[in-house]
Structure 1
Amino acid sequence: MSEENQPINSEEQHDFIPENQEAIDHSDSITKVTGMYKDWFLDYASYVILERAVPAIEDGFKPVQRRIMHSMKELDDGRYNKVANVIGHTMQYHPHGDASIGDAMVNIGQKDLLIDCQGNWGNILTGDGAAAPRYIEARLSKFALEVLFSPKVTEWQLSYDGRKNEPIHLPVKFPMLLAQGGEGIAVGLSTKILPHNFNELIDASIKILKGKPFTLYPDFPTAGIADVSNYNEGMRGGRVRVRAKISQLDKQTLVITQIPFSTDTSKLIDSILKANEKGKIKVKKIEDNTAAEVEILIHLYPGVSPDKMIDALYAFTDCELSVAPLGCVIENCNRPLFIGVNDMLKLSTNRTVGILKRELEIQLEELETKWHFANLEKIFIREEMYIDFKLYADKEALFEYMYKSFEPFKKVLLRDIVDEDLQKLTQIPMIRITRFDSDKADEGIAKLEAEMEEVKHHLANIIDFAIDYFTRLKEKYGKGRERLTELRNFDTIEATKVVLRNTKLYVNREEGFIGTSLKKDEYVADCSDIDDVIVFLRDGKMLVTKVDDKKFIGKDIIHIAVFDKNDKRTIYNMIYRDGKSGPSYIKRFNVSGVTRDKEYDLTQEKPGSQVLYFSANPNGEAEVITILLRQVGSVKKLKWDMDFAEIMIKGRASKGNTVTKYPIKKIELKEKGISTLRPRKIWFDDTVQRLNVDGRGELLGEFKPNDRLLIINQSGKLKTIIPELTTHFEEDMIVLEKWNSNKPISAIYYDGEKERYFIKRFLVENENKEEIFITEHEKSQLEIVSTDWKPMAEVIFAKVKGVQKENQLVNLEEFIAVKGIKALGNQLTTDKVKQINLLDPLPFEELIEEEEVSTENLDSETPSFEDIDIQLDDDGQITLSLE
């Protein structure tokens, strides 16, 4: 410690001197503390960063982890050691503390790579802790013994008290940091390196050595599903979204079989219970059956949609988490380095090559030393130099004699002879000299020369040698270390679409209040506390606001509903009077992007404007209305009909088309309308296993409000559903298409009870019920299924007693008539079947009914330029319409 950092001696401490007391001059003994705390803080921060929290790039270990590994190597005798003994031995190198050493050792052991564990080491799935160190045992794994240690290439330093030598870095010949991952919080910085797959790291290292491109994505020990589209090579700013694997066990039960990284089953269940208490979701009961594998059963109340609940679990609980990686490591023992996982792997691979090269060089030096002495020994004994030893009384004279004797043989040696060589020759026992076998010695030298040539070959082709090394590691230790985490792009779940409608919305139209506490007033709809509400007033004002207990909007509310900002299919039909006595206008519009709590005027903002007619149509319906005018002057036509289907849908700010310049007495609904919107195109994105209307994936068709999807699973289950974008699909789904109720479904299946193949054709009898169309025997299985009009199949028979029957072509339409879905069907064959293939169907022209396409009914009169209304809608598109 420097002099300025020495603690103040008690004799040098002084009391505070009041102003009215005579000051004593102690200037010679005062120590200034200016800057002390700054220096001390920097020293502390540096210590925490370099010696505690952040792993080294060279071997991937923090200091405590490195000392644990070194201690276990020193204690290694092939048997298990008590963890308490390892902790005590580790403290010889640094007094980390028994608890911190024990926790670090358990953390390494739970990663199942370097430590062979025995006893209760805890459970990363449930969060259960390990038993006390005196009860559990450990030893180094075979993998650790092979890749972590090489004393001859290790750099050493003194331990904290100078009594022991410890490694500065372990000569790790594997990307250990990326395989295990690591995280730590230091002073002013942190690190979070995610774990990666063992085999994928080796494959990537081989690609680096071959100069090929590679990509690395994390693989978590808890499995689960991950979206790595924003991984950013594990650097600052990247994100990995991780999800639990949730599936539907039955109509009222969900099962979680894999959990996200960085959580456990206890925390996950707690988050579900908290979301349930807050009313975000509605769960009946949770069962945790987790043991060696995760199994959490979530029981739902009747009427709760399993699909919607899965999305809600992702939106409001720890079933989906976002992990922020941050690649920070220590470089050269003295400074932090922010680096991506690709560069980490390149550095690790190059360091492995360097260590392998140094090991080969040391091995070559040792072989050359052995070869050198073996030749010296052979020459020494063959030339009988030992006979004249008695002529020399001192060591110097003897060595001078031996140097002269070896002079003729210098050319055959690899290096010069030194005193140490001669000393070893003089110490050869006489019995060994008398029993010396020259031929055996030559064999030994030849063997050494062969080994030296092999090592030289490896050094000359060090990259190929390193590739072979990584390949052997994968073959030896890679089995059972396949990828656990499924990589998949996630769709974005909107919380407002999946939140439980846990409260009710009410309105007082006359006084202008809305809220969830107005229980004596008019009920509007079920809602949640995160929903938005859209409100229209009689004066033409519109407002979108957050759900609240009680909120004043404005008097004379004409329409209120829960608002969906992405809903472009809800069309509002409106007629309004422009000002107190101005003309009336008709318009149709939708509402999408708006600013919350901003008031919008749907009229021309003239005082006295009033909405005369208003309707909200969730599927773009256009009704027919009757206009009744007041008797004014000589107006003859006081009544006529108007069809909203003739009005173009434009932006909410559009003026609209003129209805009349005269006062309107009343507007009556004459006829409810049908949707004027085109059928909605729906696609299926196989990557995320979701429906969408954004053009991603395979187009399933155009769907009207009552059109349905047909879903068939490999298990023989069948159902039809109204296509909703929140629908989840099972993994064994084999058919997904727009359902045609007139098209029969053809199937060939194996009946487990009768042990025969059957063909059946049927129509879906109950569109609202999921049904199984094969027999329910445990050995029954679906072979092929087709929704073609004239499907064809090929039957390949098994060879029986050396006889091979020719393949059979089957026209399923001719083979059997359409029957009920529960019918057994007709037997396909009695012969033993090897395989059944579905072929291209026979041609068939489907009769399509022509549909009437509604068009705008334009006025027969030729419009002038003044009659054209030009409007800019919310999407920036220009629309033209006739006034």
Structure 2
Amino acid sequence: MSEENDDLLNEYEENHETITKVSGMFKDWFLDYASYVILERAVPAIEDGFKPVQRRIMQSMKDLDDGRYNKVANIVGHTMQYHPHGDASIADAMVQIGQKDLLIDTQGNWGNILTGDSAAASRYIEARLSKFAIDVVYNPKITEWQSSYDGRRKEPVNLPVMFPLLLAQGGEGIAVGLSTKILPHNFIELIDASVKHLKGKRFTIYPDFPTAGIIDISNYNDGLRGGKVRVRAKISQLDKNTLVITEIPYGTNTSSLIDSILKANDKGKIKIKKIEDNTAAEVEILVHLPGGISPDKTIDALYAFTSCESSISPLGCVIEDNKPLFVGVTEMLRRSTDNTVQLLKSELEIRLGEFEEQWHFASLERIFIENRIYRDIEEEETWEGVIKAIDKGLKPHTKHLKRAVLEDDIVRLTEIRIKRISKFDIDKAQQKIDALEDQIAQIKHHLANLIDYAIAYFERLKKEYGEGRERQTEIRTFDDVDATKVIIRNTKLYVNRAEGFVGTSLKRDEYVCDCSDIDDIIVFTKEGKMMVSKVDTKTFVGKDIIHVAVFKKKDKRTIYNMIYKDGSKGPSYVKRFAVTSMTRDREYDLTNGNKGSAVWYFSANPNGEAEVVTINLRQVGSIKKLKWDLDFAEVLIKNRTSKGNLVTKHAIKKIELKEKGVSTLKPRKIWFDDTVQRLNVDERGELVGEFRGEDRILIITQSGNIKTIVPELTTRFEDDMIVMEKWVPKKPISAIYFDGEKERYYVKRFVVENELKEESFISDHPNSQLEIVSTDWRPMAEVEFTKERGKDRKDNMEVNFEEFIAIKGISALGNQLTKDKINQVSLLESLPYEAPKEIPANDIEVVDEENITSIDSKTEEPNKSKEDKGLNGEGQITLF
């Protein structure tokens, strides 16, 4: 029976998995391993700022130090006496220390942090301790020692580093369950901060990187968890088609940076022609742009889509008392400075003890020789007798000594050579004792004024080693780059209105606009539904699409005008609204939601334009008024969820566009980018002015043509344009030109009367030429005459345009300037004039697009005048 049970048990165990508890293994083995990695490999100690491998390298270099260079391979081999790991990890750690250019004086190819080139093999490169390292890292007398891993040697528990080395070099490591990332800081700023701490003052320290670049420390958070710094390359414009990168962000190199730029170009996010890497001792990367590409916009695109900008998340974690400690850089500096003070105190106390011992023995020696106590031992036959004789001879003379005379002191006296006794000079002996007393007094003074001594110590370090260690990374607050504004739109968007599809693959359907793969698109349908969706190859959004465009988040200037029917037989309403934010791929109903609702009229206006439409009703019953105009300028801009204002309760036959409108929003600022000859609202280039609906731009060309235009962002400008500014209708234009037919110079002043027509204000003769033109109120000019042979040069003539000629028509010839030959005409500083003030934007009664809220149409009555209208724009209008 028992054999049958055993067989059954064996069969059960074979067919079922057995469960083994591993809690003991996890507790004993894994935690031991985690503790080992944290304490012995990855995280630096707060006392000296070193990881164990770094500390062992520095101790080995001290062991081998004789002032000459040593092969790195030799140093690595020596370090293996302390470090229980392979040579590769030691060599890598040593190269990292050497590249920081603080503790190790290097010779040979140690790699390049700018290009990412690795160092040569350790057998080819050499190193020795720097003067700074010898000065601040070592002092065996105040170093605590422990046995090495095999017990054959003694290694320091911590090196007595008297400087905030961890913050100067930075450090990072990944352990088991935690990591650390301490960013490097500026050498001089650390010393200044230490001095401020010793003086009881507040201080702040920020990262400084050997790769230079630019840093935004707004969210540094003292280097604690949760903080973040943004670092950027330094990019400038070399010429209109070339950008130059002269500094790179920390954590990158020129190779990885160029790779990221090429990848962004391949993906179509930026557009570049070619890249040249001329980096040697300093970074120089040339980015060549195709014609017509804005350098300013490309710089922002480089920050948005490449490694030219990156974020670094610091994490201050150190080892203290064999435990990980999370601490900010301010507290790290305080602890390091306080530790330096204690080390300086220990060093002074040791030196004080040494000097006191020297003084004690020098005094004994003088008593021993001066009083000829050595003669008392001549008759002694035993060693005990010699000791007692000397002790007896010293006692009458040792009352001034600071401690008792020990047997060891007497033994040292017996070791004095006869030659030294015979040549003993009492005066020299006293001078030595006096010098020791001065040194003892000085050290006691330092101990009594320890903080002042520490401050002087730090200031000495700054003076001796601070040269050439000024801040390299520029601190600046970054403006966020809107990726949708700077990305190159290299994809075309199409729409199938009837079927309700939009996407980039519908090439047989209607083209909408250019877009990018990061854009969102906004779609409106005839049923009054709205949706925002990500650009894709093909997306269904709803049938009968009436409007589709690239959606701009937080866009408060694009205003949608809509008239819709509420239900199949309900009244019609008009509304104006903006769409600033919404949930992607969610359908929104812009009507009241009743079945059968439909849109009669829809327009999308990029600058809040308000057009005039004609409402036509159906002839039903006794309706008297079948046709009237509706001005959208009289409709307030409300929230998209508002019902709107009642248009009519009767059936609408059709709605016709009668008149395009102008903006009802506040004036907008417009800039001109001279490099690409384009207007923009992205603050690129020179500010042209603030424009309302009726405002125009004045354009004057070198060929003598003048016109005013509506400031549309798509406008292209002539190459010979010499004046572009906001047009002030009553402001006169002053000019001096050469008439080719009459061969005379003329002066004229005029105002632009026909704002819609381009006109020439000089004669159309092929030899006619414009000399100067001014749009100032009271301009002045200087005429320099040509020197004729045999005659003295005629003095220069000043021309006051206001006095020289009255304002006439643009077609007038003007007044003759002179019959003499002219060498040069130049404008002078204009006379003072207080121009008529424009009505400021705050005084104009307009709807504030910054406060688009839902307003009840029953309680709010629109009251808009023509002055409320703003800039024309090319919106999309749909009629049904």
Q: TM-score, normalised by structure 1?
A: 0.78
8 Å CA contact retained: 1:626, 1:642? yes
DSSP-derived class of the 1:585 partner: strand
- The Cα shift of 1:700 comes to 10
After superposition, give the CA deviation of every residue in 1:218-241 in whole Å (9 maximum; x if it has no partner): 001111111111111111111011
Counterpart Cα distance in 2 of 1:415 and 1:743: 102
1: CA distance, partners of 2:692 / 2:356: 85
Distance in structure 2 (CA, Å) of the matches to 1:365 and 1:469: 21
Residue aligning to 2:860? 881
1:208-607 paired onto structure 2 within 5 Å: 208-332=197-321, 334-607=322-595
- Does residue 184 of structure 1 match 2:163? no
Deviations 1:157-196 (A, max 9, x none): 1111111111111110100100000111111111110000
Q: How many residues matched?
A: 742
Q: Which residue of 1 aligns with 2:598?
A: 610
Q: In the alignment, is the contact (CA less than 8 A) between 1:76 and 1:139 conserved in 2?
A: yes
- Cα distance between partner residues in 1 of 2:324 and 2:609: 64
Contact 2:146 2:156 in 1 (8 A): yes
Cα distance in structure 2, aligned partners of 1:651 and 1:327: 48
Structure 1: distance between partners of 2:179 and 2:307: 23
Which whole-Å deviations, capped at 9, do the CAs of 1:808-851 have from their partners, x for residues lacking one? xxx9999x9999xxx988899xxxxxxxxx9xx99642234679
1:36 aligns with 2:15: no
Distance 1:361 1:877 in 2: 81
Q: Which amino acid aligns with 2:133?
A: A
Letter of the 1:599 partner, please give it: E
Aligned residue for 2:632?
A: 644
The CA distance in 2 between the partners of 1:498 and 1:620, in whole Å, is: 23
Partners of 1:738 and 1:73 in 2: how far apart?
73
Indicate the residue corresponding to 1:193 in structure 2. Answer: 182
Question: What residue is the counterpart of 1:835 in the other structure?
Answer: none
Q: Kindly, what percent of the aligned residue pairs are identical?
A: 67
Q: Distance in 1 between matches of 2:419 and 2:36?
A: 61
Query: Per-residue deviation at 1:407?
Result: 2.1
Note the C-alpha offset of 1:647.
1.2
Q: What residue ranges of structure 1 are gaps of 5+ in the alignment? A: 1-16, 23-30, 684-690, 711-720, 725-736, 746-786, 793-810, 829-837, 858-871
Q: 1:595 to 1:788 in 2, by over 3 A?
A: same
Q: Secondary structure at the match of 2:546?
A: strand
Seen in structure 2, the aligned counterparts of structure 1 residues 611 and 32 have a Cα distance that, compared at 3 Å, is closer
SS in 1 for 2:628: strand
Residue 630 of structure 1 corresponds to 618
RMSD: 3.7
Q: Secondary structure at the match of 2:398?
A: helix
Equivalent in the alignment of 2:61: 72
State which of 633, 646, 654 in structure 2 corresponds to 1:658: 646
Shift of 1:670: 1.1
Equivalents in 1 of 2:618, 2:565: separation in Å?
A: 14
**Is 1:165 the counterpart of 2:151 in the alignment?**
no
Q: Partners in 1 of 2:369 and 2:173 — Cα distance?
A: 64
**1:140 and 2:129 correspond:** yes
Summarize the Cα distance change of 1:512–1:41 in structure 2 as closer, same or farther, 3 Å threshold. Answer: same
Once the 2 structures are TM-superposed, how far is the Cα of residue 567 of structure 1 from its aligned partner? 0.8
* Contact 2:47 2:158 survives alignment (8 Å): yes
- What runs of 5+ residues in structure 2 fail to find an aligned partner? 1-5, 12-19, 672-678, 700-709, 714-724, 735-774, 781-797, 806-816, 818-822, 863-880
Q: How has the CA–CA distance of structure 1 residues 708 and 367 changed in structure 2, closer, same or farther, with 3 Å as cutoff?
A: farther
Whole-Å Cα distance in 2 between the matches of residues 311 and 789 of structure 1? 38
Of the structure 1 ranges 655-664 and 468-477, higher mean CA displacement relative to structure 2 is found in 655-664
Asked whether the 8 Å contact 2:376–2:389 carries over to 1, the reply is: no
Structure 1 residues 325, 790: CA separation in 2 closer, same or farther (over 3 Å shift)? farther
Structure 2 contact 666–846 (Cα < 8 Å) conserved: no
In 2, distance between residues paired with 1:544 and 1:846? 48
Task: Compute the displacement of 1:409 (Å).
Answer: 2.7
Question: Match of 2:663?
Answer: 675
8 Å CA contact 1:657–1:882 kept in 2: the answer is: no
CA distance in 2 between partners of 1:312 and 1:423 (Å): 82
Distance in 2, matches of 1:692 and 1:458, equals: 67
Partner letter of residue 881 of structure 1? E
Residue 703 of structure 1 and its aligned partner are, at CA, apart by: 4.1
Residue 465 and residue 300 in structure 1: after superposition, are their counterparts in 2 closer, same or farther (change >3 A)? same
Q: Give the C-alpha shift of residue 309 in structure 1.
A: 1.6
Query: Does the 8 A contact of 2:528 with 2:591 survive in 1?
Result: yes
Q: Tell me the equivalent position of 1:718.
A: none
Shift of 1:277: 2.1
Note the C-alpha offset of 1:254. Answer: 1.6
- Cα deviation digits, residues 668-690 of structure 1 (max 9, x gap): 1111111111213699xxxxxxx
One-letter amino acid matched to 2:314: P
CA 1:573 to 1:21, structure 2 compared with 1: closer, same or farther past 3 Å? closer
Higher relative contact order (CA 8 A, sep 6+): 2
For residue 431 of structure 2, give the secondary structure of its aligned residue in structure 1: helix
Matched, 1:156 2:145: yes
Secondary structure of 1:505 counterpart: strand
1:788 Cα offset (Å)? 10
Paired position in structure 2 for 1:60: 49
Q: Which is further off, 469-478 or 434-443?
A: 434-443
SS at match of 1:558: strand
Paired AA for residue 155 in structure 2:
E
Measured after TM superposition, the shift of residue 99 of structure 1 is 0.7
Secondary structure at 1:65 match in 2: helix
Letter in 2 for 1:356: L
Q: How far apart are the structure 1 equivalents of 2:604 and 2:21? A: 79
**Aligned equivalents of 1:310, 1:215: Cα separation in 2:** 31
Distance 1:529 1:292, change over 3 A: same
How many angstroms does 1:494 deviate by? 2.2
Q: CA deviation at 1:38?
A: 3.1
